[in-house]
Every structure is written in structure tokens, then in C-alpha cells.
Chains A and B, each alone.
Chain A
């Protein structure tokens, strides 16, 4: 195992565990201000937006590869497909795409 990766995983484990654990120790019927709660609720959706774009454009040299794959995923998800179906579906679409281009 790569030492740097192992250190990173331990770091990830610590920063994930501490927020899970702390409230059980420090909170006794207290609540954070609603504004802070609101910001924290927003974080996952904002993160997903920033993660998808623009990185999805650069997954292969051909910029259309990412665009086609993302469009396929969006269409499948919009029609209500399960996440795993979205993933497999967009892989299938790109397999067909790379067969022709």
C-alpha cells in the first residue's frame, strides 16, 4: 500500500468520524442557529454541482465523450432510474459512442 494514500485514508476517517461522534458527547438539548443548519443542508447539493462540472468535460481527450455521458446520465436520472441504472446506462451509451467515433 502507498504510504501517502494510507495517511490520506486515515485523515479522511478522522475528519468523518469526529463530526459524527462529537454531538453525542457535547450536546445536551442544544441546537445550532437555523442559518448555520441551512448552510450545512445545502453543502451536499452544492458539492455535487461543483464536482460534476466542469470535470466531467475532461474525462477523455474528446470533450464530447463527457458531454454525451453526462447527458445520458441526466436523461436516465430524470426519468426516475435508480442510481445504479444511471451508472450502467451511461457506461453502455459511451461504449456505443466509442464504437462509432
Chain B
């Protein structure tokens, strides 16, 4: 029994190697941008340790740099990360039944990537596998956040300035491949950008609330339009 658990854990570690490698550059960039945003090494590590969500962490830096309030940053984090709810709901069906304590512990490690790997495993996913998978991914994320912060130190001022684009380049790099695959993504991003521009420039609300409102409004409108189209129920996105 003990041997079985160890090998399941090992299988999880192996399954997570590609994620750990994939997280490395993103975490390095996060650490580096966290430094340029003005966070300390401790704050940077703490964020990666407690949040463990790439997009939300990047977004929080962007909002901090814009001087957005803390409550709005936490709310934006919530809205950006609520998609994990669905992933966990789906994985809950597939995961080996175990004590609520163990499930509550490994659920901390559910990300887009760990979910994708776990959900495509054949059959049931064991608790040991989930711990291995999430542990190696989490370790990579935390360690390389710290390394990115440290090697980002002491850069020339011109380079620091050029690096103010890094966050936005990252968002564009995440968005464009999905835009190429689905016109719906193009509508979503364009609509939200338009709403956000109107809300911000018209001075209707602060930047943080404008982003939250623009996001929800666009997500609902696009989904409603899609739902009204006859015979277009199947979602073609990955």
C-alpha cells in the first residue's frame, strides 16, 4: 500500500515535469516584473507561495503599477481566478475519493496547466498523483519567481524602461494564439477593451472597477449573443 502511494506520487511528479519547465520562464518574468513594480523579494515570494496563479499575479502587478486600490486588486483576482471553480468541479468527478482534508490540500495546486494534465489522464486520478503533479509545478513557480527577482536586480535604466512593456507583451502573447483559433476570443478581447476605454476615459469609474465591469459585461454579452444563435451550441475553443 505504501509502495503504491509512493509510485503514484512519482507518476505525478513525472507528469508535472513539462509544467515545471513551462512555468520557469513565466515565473522568472514575474519575479523580474515584481521587482520593477517595486515589490520586495519577500513580497514576491509570498505572492507566489500564497496565490500560485500566473495571470492573476501579473494582473495584480499591472494594477499596483497603476496605483489601483487593494480591494479592487483582490476582487479582480477573484474574478480572474473563478474559472478554477469549474476545473475543480470537473476534476472532483475524476479524482479518487479521499478524505476532505487531503482534497482540500491538493486543490490549492489546481491551475490551468495542472488541471489540463490531470484531466487528460486515463481513468481515475489518485490523491498521490495530484500531490506529485501540483508539488513539482508549485515548486517551479515559487523558486523561479525568486530567481527572476534576483537576476532582475541592477538592470540599466533604459532596459528597465523598455521592460515596462513586458507585462503587456506577456498578455498579448497569451491572448493572440487563442485569437487565431477562435473569432469569439477576438470579440471578447475587443469588446472588453472598448468598454474599458469608454469607462476609463469617460471617468465613469476607477481603472480597477472599469476592468472588472468591462470583463463581466463582455463575457455576458458574447455568451448571450452566442446562445441566441440557433445551432451554435458547441463551443469550439480548447
Contact = CB atoms under 8 A, between A and B. Distances in A.
Contacts of A73: 165, 168-169, 172-173
Contacts of A21: 88, 104, 107-108
Interface residues of A, number: 76
A51 B165 CA distance: 13
Interface stretch (B4-12, B118-126, B191-199): B191-199
Nearest to A7: B70
B115 to A, nearest CB: 10
B100 A25 contact: yes
Q: How large is the interface on B (under 10, 10 to 19, 20 to 34, 35 or more residues)?
A: 35 or more
Interface in A22-53: 22-25, 27, 29-32, 34-35, 37-53
A12 B107 CA distance: 16
A77 to B, nearest CB: 4
Contact of A19 (B82, B91, B223): B82
A91 B81 contact: no
Contacts of B77: 11-12, 15-16
Nearest to A5: B43
A28 B61 CA distance: 37
Interface of B, secondary structure class, is helix
B166 A87 contact: yes
A33 to B, nearest CB: 11
A6 B237 contact: no
Interface of B: 25-26, 29, 39-40, 42-43, 46-47, 50-53, 55-57, 59-60, 62, 66, 70, 73-89, 91-93, 95, 100, 103-104, 107-108, 110, 158-159, 161-166, 168-178, 180, 184-185, 188-193, 195-197, 200-201, 207, 210-211, 214-216, 218-220, 222-223, 226-227, 233, 235, 237
Given A45-B189, A84-B26, 20 more contacts: A1-B42, A8-B60, A20-B88, A24-B100, A24-B104, A37-B86, A45-B188, A49-B190, A50-B192, A53-B197, A54-B201, A55-B66, A72-B169, A73-B165, A86-B170, A87-B29, A91-B162, A91-B165, A94-B162, A95-B162
9 contacts: A11-B74, A37-B86, A50-B214, A50-B218, A51-B59, A56-B165, A65-B165, A83-B25, A84-B26
